[in-house]
């Protein structure tokens, strides 16, 4: 299995655009017709990977797209019929709110592995099937279910076990400073989303048309 920390460290750094000020007009839940709040340029960038792009049709109030990053397969890498090479391609879409809380939807081709979540629940996604939503990672303990009370309380370090059949898709929160490809992504350390809210995001995933 794979876990958030190693997957996120593989992805490239995410800079902040468009400006945070755009959040003032981004404070409503959206539907699939809005293309997950992606701009035409961002959509074209994602589609250049020639893989299925999973995006949320539910976005929590106040969140907007702050960045989109992709990593294509290396030029000489063998690519299969699904557009996947040994370690790619990958993409990451970061959502941010005015309080600087962040979550992302990402995907990567190739092999994956890692530990279980310290707390976990199963969530059904219409495009990915059954997905494990996790809080933190196990450190020798047995994974415990996410309780009803935990589901209603903001939690840090939430992530879904990458799902699919390469490319693998994931939704995860981001806390603090993250360095990737010599660039930083800066997000609040404070937990903001609840497991119930992240569940809604996972359940809403659909393919970018």
Nearest by Cα to 99 from 16, 30, 179, 192? 192
DSSP 87: T
CB atoms within 10 A of CB 200: 17
The residues of the chain scoring below 50 in pLDDT are 1-33
| Alpha helices (H) along 51-156 | 148-151
Q: Which two tokens stand for residue 60?
A: 């929590």
Query: In the numeric block, which tokens belong to residue 142?
Result: 């047995």
Structure tokens at 15: 């800079």
- Strand-pairing partners, residue 183, are 180
What CA–CA distance (Å, rounded) separates 201 from 173? Answer: 11
Residue 176 has what DSSP assignment?
S
CA distance 73 to 82: 12
Tokens coding 190: 């404070």
Q: How far apart are CA 157 and CA 191, in angstroms?
A: 8
């Amino acid at each position: 299995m794979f876990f958030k920390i190693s997957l996120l460290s593989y992805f490239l750094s995410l800079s902040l655009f468009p400006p945070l000020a755009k959040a003032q007009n981004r404070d409503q839940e959206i539907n699939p017709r809005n293309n997950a709040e992606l701009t035409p340029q961002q959509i074209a960038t994602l589609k250049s990977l020639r893989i299925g792009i999973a995006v949320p049709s539910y976005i929590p109030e106040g969140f907007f797209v702050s960045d989109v990053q992709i990593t294509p397969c290396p030029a000489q890498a063998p690519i299969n019929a699904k557009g996947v090479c040994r370690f790619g391609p990958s993409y990451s879409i970061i959502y941010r709110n005015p309080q600087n809380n962040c979550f992302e939807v990402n995907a990567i081709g190739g092999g994956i592995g890692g530990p279980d979540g310290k707390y976990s629940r199963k969530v059904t996604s219409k495009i990915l099937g059954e997905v494990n939503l996790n809080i933190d990672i196990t450190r020798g303990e047995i994974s415990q279910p996410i309780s009803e009370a935990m589901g209603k309380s903001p939690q840090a370090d939430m992530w879904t076990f990458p799902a699919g059949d390469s490319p693998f898709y994931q939704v995860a929160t981001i806390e603090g400073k993250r360095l990737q490809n010599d660039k930083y992504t800066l997000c609040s350390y404070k937990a903001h989303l609840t497991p119930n809210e992240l569940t809604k995001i996972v359940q809403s995933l659909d393919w970018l048309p």
